[in-house]
Amino acid sequence: MMTTVLIGAGMGFLIALFVLAIKLPTKIQYVEEIEVNASIKETYDAIRFQERLMKWSAWPSETNSQCAVKNVDGEIKAQTVFLQKGKQFGYQEITDLIENEKVSFYLTSKAPFEQDTHLHFFLKELDETNTHVMLYFDNLLKRPSHIFPHVFGIVKWTHGMHLKDLAGLKAFVEK
């Protein structure tokens, strides 16, 4: 009797995992926007220069990590490497820059799941002292490990971190 219950529970668990693997999305995308009371040049530089970005980004404090910049800060191929106890566990690299218009990043980390992550900031000058900032997040998770970020709330947590980042950017450039 007990064996039958255990086999049934195990089969139910496997079926649930199979359904989740099929139904949960592998593509996570969203857009968030904010207006800042700062010039487009100040805003662009606050994003592209990694030393400045780490002053307003929520990621270092929320992940309890240290950061270091590799390569030439503010240029394509500049990297912010993320360290814990002196060991690198990930980085973000500038992949595209259009002066006062766009900063794009590729992100990678040692996670228990595979992913291909891109983050873009698009800027639009509203007037000399106001800038519209659009954050576009594009993440492709690999099957079947895409289940973990959904089940453990990582997708929601990441979105919340990007909202904190936009608020941090606003506070940084407006001071």
Q: Enumerate the domain spans of the chain.
A: 24-63+96-174
* Greatest Cα pair distance in the chain: 76
- Sheet strands (E) in the chain: 27-36, 66-70, 79-84, 87-98, 102-109, 115-127, 130-141
Sheet holding 130-141, edge to edge: 27-36, 130-141, 115-127, 102-109, 87-98, 79-84, 66-70
Q: What is the pLDDT of residue 20?
A: 61
pLDDT in tens, 18-54: 666 667 788 999 999 999 999 999 999 999 999 999 9
Q: Are 120 and 131 in contact (CB under 8 A)?
A: no
Residue 28 pairs in a beta bridge with 139
* pLDDT value of residue 7: 76
> How much is the pLDDT for 26?
86
Give the amino acid at 163.
L
pTM of this prediction? 0.87
> Which parts of the chain have pLDDT scores under 70?
10, 12-22, 111-114
- CATH 3.30.530.20 is held by the domain 24-63+96-174: yes
Cis peptide before 144 (omega within 30 of 0): yes
Which residue has 């900031």 as its token pair?
121
> Residue 96 corresponds to which tokens in the numbers above?
């595209």
What integer pLDDT is reported at residue 13 of this predicted model? 60
